[in-house]
Amino acid sequence: MFSSPIKAKRFHTRVLVPVVLVMALLVATTMYVVNGRLQRQLHKEAEQALQTAEAVFRNSQKERTRTLMWRYQLIPKTPHFVANFQQGDPNTIQAMLQNSKAEMPGDLIAYKDADGKTIAMAIRDSSLDAGEFETNSAPAVRQALEGAPAVDTIRLSDRLFDVVSFPVTLPSGQLLGALTFCRKFGELEAQELSAVSGCGIVLIANTNVVASSLPRNDVLGQSVRLFNLVGTSAATDSDRHEIVATEEHYLPRIGAFDSMSNDPKIGYVLLYSYAPALHELKATQRIIVSVSVIGIIFATAIVWVLIRNTTRPLRDLRDSAEAVGRGDFTHRVHVKSQDECGELAQVFNRMTENLQASRSELEQTVRRLENTQAQLVQSEKLSAIGEFVAGVTHELNNPLAALLGFSDLLQQTQVDERQKRFIDRVSNSARRCQKIVQSLLSFARQHAPERKLTNVNEMVEAVIEIMAYEMRTSNIDVEKQLDSALPNVLADAHQIQQVFLNIVNNARQAIEAHASSGAIRVRTESLYERVRITFQDNGPGIPAENLKKIFDPFFTTKEAGKGTGLGLSLSYGIIQEHGGTIRAESKLGMGTTFIIELPVHTPQTEPAREESAKTSLPACNGSGKRVLVIDDEEMILDFLVEVLHADGFDVDTAADGEAALKRLRQKQYDLALCDWKMPGLNGQKLFERVKTEDPSAAKRFVFMTGDIINEQAEAFLKENRRVCLCKPFSVAEFRSALAVLAEAA
């Protein structure tokens, strides 16, 4: 009669005890393994975050360097400052430095002459020591006196300062001295760098905290001790240290500023706090333990009920998991109860929803990456095409030079009207090709930013000339309304032409995709102190929601591979840098209008155009003068020989540098016309050989080229005081230039 309860008790014991033990052991093991892995992962993520923060910090420092360079670069070039520096009066310069606070901001400003002697120094922070400043800023000043601007971080009286030093030169290039600005690097910069890097930062100079984004003294003290212990030369060793404060854990990384003096007493400590993550980990551990204990007790009490009632929802959960495994994230587990199975179903449903959202975000990210990859590939293609175009147009300049020259020679011969008309058409076509080639070379070559007085109408004409063929084949009429009395602007012609080209090409593509024909109207006008350029098309227009984003980087409505989304963004930046404005107006179905305004620059006097001076010169009388023409293009040789013979010159030719060297050794020439690019011994190498063997003959060298003169070639020509004629050129242009060259020789 009592056997049944005893058997039941033993059965429950045999079931519950192993279940409880297994569950307890499983929970303990899981906690041990998960805790270890989470702690390692937490530390690893903290190190990675710190490495990323350091990279961001260094990039921010580089950006600060560029900002400081940009902020101060125009001051040494200001005319009235240069005039005072040129006078060299210490009292005048001292007064100027002391009183020009708005134009020349800084805690200390110093000016040294070209010999490194301090002429004047304005100390606006009385706590600064002039002698210490001169000692610590010497490397930056020395670099400026060598002709290159310099930015450095130095230590003065246990504080950090940014030093910016610029060479002061005359327009002729003569070095007058160096102007140096000293600006405090403190709390504001620390807060900005901390905000950018996402970490706490402590700036240290001579074992003292200069500035910090963390107010806690115990953290600052440990940072200084760690800085003194590890040192900036062993920054990686700091990864094995931690800074622990009350309820705070920091992983530090020590770094040094890019100081030209390599001062070991200045640097920084980046502090990444992972205390919140540790708190979350401990809270999670407590929650897991609590839930596990409750689960064990509850499971012990109703194990049989759970076994029977759990199998059905587990099957539902299994089916849902299989659906998720197949990629169906819309499947949900029906919640039938509020017990653990119901909670599990709810958690599973939330997990499925999160997975569905994560998958959607991942798909969007993948699409963005694919678009970005396509844009980068397109940019690389455009760069390669630019190089190819530059090479091709250079090769075209040689036959164009011959074509233009011989057509000019034919125009000077006795021919009937019909033949004269044919020759005029050949000449006009050659000149048109010349303009197109020059424009293509101008766009294909990279140019250093250079602003000078520029006629906006000429830039518009150049862009329309380049786009003429595309406009004609796309059945698009271009209407020009150009103000002939338009004042000049101070601008980089290459950059502004790139802006115009982007806008016109975008208009052409929009019209071409919308209709079989269209029109673009370009208008220039003068408004008060600004020049306005308007580009208006009758294309499909831009939707209002897109009109607000057209100047955003990488925004494009074109298919992948057909646009990078950078054209209008770069155009916006270029116009802003020129002190102008650019905006767009559009209504869907009514076309788009881009309006650009640039500030007018009116110089007091404008020099006479070089072209008019050249054309007014008479042709050179070459009687009794001997000329050597060196070019690997036979057509160029024939053309130049014809022109030179007609002017009375005695002409010899050479098809390469070696042949020219032999002739120069045999005869004395009044003038040597040499092509810059030739196979084997090119123009520059030939000149250097001749200069070594016969310096007087080298002084009579004149170069010719069909390419744009790059910086190295320009420096070479300037150093040796040589000129270079650009192909193609007409007979009149060649004779006018030759008259000047022959007279100088």
Task: Report DSSP letters for 456-516, one per residue.
Answer: HHHHHHHHHHHHHHHHHHTTEEEEEE--TTPPPEEE-HHHHHHHHHHHHHHHHHHHHHH-S
Phi and psi dihedrals of 236, rounded to 5? -70, -25
Kindly state whether residues 562 and 619 are assigned to the same domain: no
What are the structure tokens assigned to 640, written together? 């130049």
Tell me: pLDDT of 11 over 50. no
Do residues 155 and 263 touch, judged by C-beta distance below 8 A?
yes
Residue 630's beta-bridge partner residues?
654, 674
Pairing relationship of beta strands 266-273 and 200-205 according to DSSP bridges: antiparallel
Q: Other CB atoms closer than 10 Å to residue 5's CB: what's the count?
A: 9
Tell me: pLDDT of 513 over 60. yes
* Model confidence band, residue 599 (pLDDT cutoffs 50, 70, 90): very high
Q: How far apart are CA 403 and CA 729, in angstroms?
A: 10
Closest among 662, 617, 671, 664 to 644, alpha carbons compared: 671
Instruction: Quick: pLDDT tens for 300-351.
Output: 777 665 555 555 666 667 677 777 777 776 767 776 666 666 777 777 777 8
Place of tokens 């499925």: 352
What are the structure tokens assigned to 177, written together? 């001295």
Q: How far apart are CA 96 and CA 85, in angstroms?
A: 10
Kindly state whether residues 89 and 151 are assigned to the same domain: yes
- The DSSP line for 52-108 is HHHHHHHHHHHHHHHHHHHHHTTGGG-HHHHHHHHHT-HHHHHHHHHH-TTTS-SSE
Residue 398's beta-bridge partner residues?
none
Angle at the Cα of 718 (from 714 to 722), degrees rounded to 5? 100
What are the structure tokens assigned to 627, written together? 């000329």
Looking at per-residue confidence, does 498 or 443 come out higher?
498
**CA dihedral defined by 149, 155, 160, 162, rounded to 10 degrees?**
-10
What confidence score (pLDDT) does residue 315 get?
64
Q: Show which of 599, 634, 661 is a domain's final residue.
A: 599
What confidence score (pLDDT) does residue 554 get?
65
**Which CATH number characterizes residue 553's domain?**
3.30.565.10
Q: How far apart are CA 466 and CA 441, in angstroms?
A: 11
The distance between the two most distant Cα atoms of the chain, rounded to a whole number of Å, is 146
Q: What is the mean pLDDT of residues 661-675?
A: 88
What confidence score (pLDDT) does residue 385 get?
58
Place of tokens 């246990």: 158
What confidence score (pLDDT) does residue 519 get?
92
Do residues 351 and 374 touch, judged by C-beta distance below 8 A?
no
Q: Other CB atoms closer than 10 Å to residue 15's CB: what's the count?
A: 14
Phi and psi dihedrals of 124, rounded to 5? -90, -15
Average pLDDT across the chain, whole number: 78
**Residue 438 located in a structural domain:** no
Do residues 251 and 219 touch, judged by C-beta distance below 8 A?
no
**Residue 293 located in a structural domain:** no
**Residue 152 located in a structural domain:** yes
Q: Which of 1-15, 441-455, 621-635, 659-673 has the highest mean pLDDT?
A: 659-673
Sheet with 266-273, side-by-side order of all strands: 208-212, 200-205, 266-273, 248-255, 243-245
**Residue 538 located in a structural domain:** yes
Q: How far apart are CA 745 and CA 743, in angstroms?
A: 5
**Which CATH number characterizes residue 615's domain?**
3.40.50.2300
Do residues 649 and 627 touch, judged by C-beta distance below 8 A?
yes
**Residue 239 located in a structural domain:** no
Kindly state whether residues 474 and 510 are assigned to the same domain: yes
Grouping H, G, I as helix, E, B as strand and the rest as coil, residue 289 is helix
Q: What is the mean pLDDT of residues 186-201?
A: 79
Q: How far apart are CA 696 and CA 415, in angstroms?
A: 44
What confidence score (pLDDT) does residue 241 get?
73
Question: Which amino acid makes up residue 258?
Answer: D
Kindly state whether residues 594 and 635 are assigned to the same domain: no
Q: How far apart are CA 108 and CA 182, in angstroms?
A: 5
**Residue 474 located in a structural domain:** yes
Query: What is the separation, in whole angstroms, between the first and last Cα of the chain?
Result: 137
Kindly state whether residues 698 and 730 are assigned to the same domain: yes
Kindly state whether residues 148 and 171 are assigned to the same domain: yes
Do residues 317 and 345 touch, judged by C-beta distance below 8 A?
yes
Closest among 137, 161, 165 to 151, alpha carbons compared: 165
- The DSSP line for 509-574 is HHHHHH-S-EEEEEEEEEETTEEEEEEEE-S----HHHHTTTTSTT---SPTTS--S-HHHHHHHH
**Residue 615 located in a structural domain:** yes
Do residues 595 and 582 touch, judged by C-beta distance below 8 A?
yes
Kindly state whether residues 624 and 699 are assigned to the same domain: yes
What confidence score (pLDDT) does residue 596 get?
92
Phi and psi dihedrals of 449, rounded to 5? -55, 125
Q: What is the mean pLDDT of residues 269-281?
A: 75
Kindly state whether residues 518 and 591 are assigned to the same domain: yes
Number of domain units in the chain: 4
* Range(s) of the domain holding residue 321: 306-414
**Which CATH number characterizes residue 85's domain?**
3.30.450.20
Q: Show which of 118, 152, 185 is a domain's final residue.
A: 185
Q: How far apart are CA 76 and CA 145, in angstroms?
A: 13
Do residues 441 and 727 touch, judged by C-beta distance below 8 A?
no
Q: How far apart are CA 198 and CA 72, in angstroms?
A: 29
Pairing relationship of beta strands 626-630 and 671-675 according to DSSP bridges: parallel
Residues 6+ apart with CB under 8 A from 267: 204, 227, 232, 254, 255, 256, 257
Kindly state whether residues 574 and 623 are assigned to the same domain: no
670 burial (CB, 10 Å; 0-12 / 13-18 / 19+) is middle
Instruction: Quick: pLDDT tens for 54-107.
Output: 788 788 878 888 888 888 888 888 888 888 888 888 888 888 888 877 777 888
Question: Which amino acid makes up residue 670?
Answer: D
Do residues 653 and 632 touch, judged by C-beta distance below 8 A?
no
| Helix or strand (DSSP H, E) at 8 | helix 3-72
Sheet with 626-630, side-by-side order of all strands: 650-654, 626-630, 671-675, 701-705, 724-726
- Whole-number Cα distances in Å, 30 to 40, 191, 286, 288, 291: 15, 42, 13, 10, 13
Instruction: Quick: pLDDT tens for 396-426.
Output: 776 777 677 777 777 777 777 777 777 777 7
What confidence score (pLDDT) does residue 532 get?
93
* Model confidence band, residue 563 (pLDDT cutoffs 50, 70, 90): low
Kindly state whether residues 467 and 406 are assigned to the same domain: no
Predicted structure pTM score? 0.36
Q: Show which of 565, 599, 633 is a domain's final residue.
A: 599
Kindly state whether residues 464 and 536 are assigned to the same domain: yes
Is residue 728 reached through a cis peptide bond, with omega within 30 degrees of 0 on the bond before it?
yes
Kindly state whether residues 556 and 453 are assigned to the same domain: yes
Instruction: Indicate the DSSP class of residue 600.
Output: B
Question: Which amino acid makes up residue 608?
Answer: A
What confidence score (pLDDT) does residue 606 get?
44
Q: How far apart are CA 586 and CA 583, in angstroms?
A: 10
* Model confidence band, residue 522 (pLDDT cutoffs 50, 70, 90): very high
What confidence score (pLDDT) does residue 240 get?
58
Phi and psi dihedrals of 166, rounded to 5? -125, 145
**Residue 441 located in a structural domain:** no
- Whole-number Cα distances in Å, 24 to 20, 174, 287, 300, 476: 6, 85, 15, 12, 81
